[in-house]
Structure 1
Amino acid sequence: MSDTNQPASSSTSPAAAASDNWVDRYLPRQVRPYARLARWHAPIGIWLLFWPCVWGLGLAAVAAPTRGFDWGAAILMLIGAALMRGAGCTFNDIVDRDIDGHVARTRQRPIPAGDVTARDALAFMIAQALLASVILFQFNRFTVWAGVASLVLVAIYPFMKRVTWWPQAFLGLAFSWGALVGWSSQTGGMAMPALLAYLGTILWVIGYDTIYALQDVEDDALIGVKSTARLFGNKARLIVSGFYIGAYMLWLAAATVAGAGIVFALLSLVAAGLLAWQVQTLNADVPNNPYVRFHANTYVGMALSLALLADWVW
């Protein structure tokens, strides 16, 4: 999922769908391939990486109300999420440059389309990572090392679809790391609320990225790429439901251990309702249906963040 792009519409070619965005309409032609490498035209990945950071900050605020919610840290983490998501997508495209050309949704990406070389993409990835490191070094030493440790997960994720049916689990390990970073940036260490939130977010990521991967099942089968969408088959809705239930229960446990009360419990039901709607209405046979359900997860992240903030204010 970290390499998310907009879906190819059933009524348009992938190339046409890829060009219908602000990047291709407004940015200089020389910049566009790099913007597409970083997925600036599809910002949902930034939000999905950012929301767990907010949850970590929110849990820390709930645990110590007088400390408050660190808005400055949240802004830094949003910038860092944008940079790291861009670097991760660029790395993914470098690794998958031979695969992407065989998948309808991805064959117009800059490298397989010939718009940018793998060498130039590598330089762009390094530049984004260096800028992200500047953001990371604004935090305490524990958080810096936690952020550095996450690079191992970022590095191995693109290769997992070749060796395991569970690449979504490895994406979950990487994309959920913000919960640990957010908490430790305020406390200088780790504790049970952050760990529970991290585990819950891993289950959430596995669920939503399975939904996302339903778009590519046929192409993935032809070229031998593995995914939980292929593994689960016709049971995808049922199994994703289980992951979502587990995610919500762990989030609720994390907030409760941190000290949240009835306000969070009630408001977090909005997030639970959005998760339930996704699996209830999921239909991989309807064009764009999985993408719309996947995309709704940015509102899940927003709802859970607001629930934590409301409980802290209360």
Structure 2
Amino acid sequence: MPEGLIVKAISGFYYVEHEGRVIQCKGRGVFRNRGISPLVGDLVTFHQEGDNDATITEVHDRKNELVRPPIANVDQSLLVFSIIEPDLSLHLLDRFLVIVESLGIEPIICLTKRDIAGEKQLAFADTAVSYYKKIGYDVLETHRDDSSLLASLQPYLSGKTSVLAGQSGVGKSTLLNTLLPELQLKTGEISEALGRGRHTTRHVELMKVAGGLVADTPGFSSLDFEHIEREELRNYFIEMDRLSSECKFRGCLHLKEPGCAVKQAVEEGEVLQQRYDNYLQFLQEITDRKPRYM
């Protein structure tokens, strides 16, 4: 039977791309009994009985999956953050980085609205960009009507399935409008009262951009670490993970242990204090989490 990629899911129907065509499919009833829910990004096997009558018969193994947005087999995530309106939050950025790192997704930091930021916001952003680049992250900066945006993103997007994610109002829809003007996604205006944009994206869809596939995602501001254990968190702060082998004790949590290479690096300014503070806060959040019952 033929195989294809789910590129869109709306109201119980799955749109599967196969040999250049998009075929509307239904899921097998047995999927519900087995707790299987096909997701955008899934490679599936389907059975076609007519031009407009096809059923997904098998969902292939996934390398990862996200709950919000509901999408599977993501290669990388463009973490879109604005320098202003809303101001750049390293706490929220680190939270996103931990989540995508824990799922085996490659993060790319994308900063927007540089052209309208003030001197203070630019200075803060430049310091942050310098640090995140130093520890190994790719960081891109964009502005409105950026004619070179597609060319700068092409090497990152080509051959990959990418997700745009970030806080509401940071410019994800604007970014996609620049990449694909024919989409004409409605851009949410910033609510001065709430300090966040209105939801403008109604479903997840994979779109062809620069030789790859990109999914737009609804803006959201809360991320939890339900799937991350206390001892795992240190692995998702990449500069701390590299230093862990130099700690005196194996399994060092970088708290009060003697001979901790991470704490020494913080004191010497090699690890950004705010990154370490965020690590401690996330660790406490995981520690305080209610135990999960099977």
Q: Which has the higher strand share?
A: 2
Quickly name the TM-score band, shorter chain normalised: under 0.3
Q: TM-score, normalization: structure 2? A: 0.24
Q: Which has the higher contact order (CA 8 A, sep 6+)?
A: 1
Who wins on radius of gyration, i.e. which is larger? Answer: 2
Q: TM-score, normalization: structure 1? A: 0.23
Q: Which has the higher helix share?
A: 1
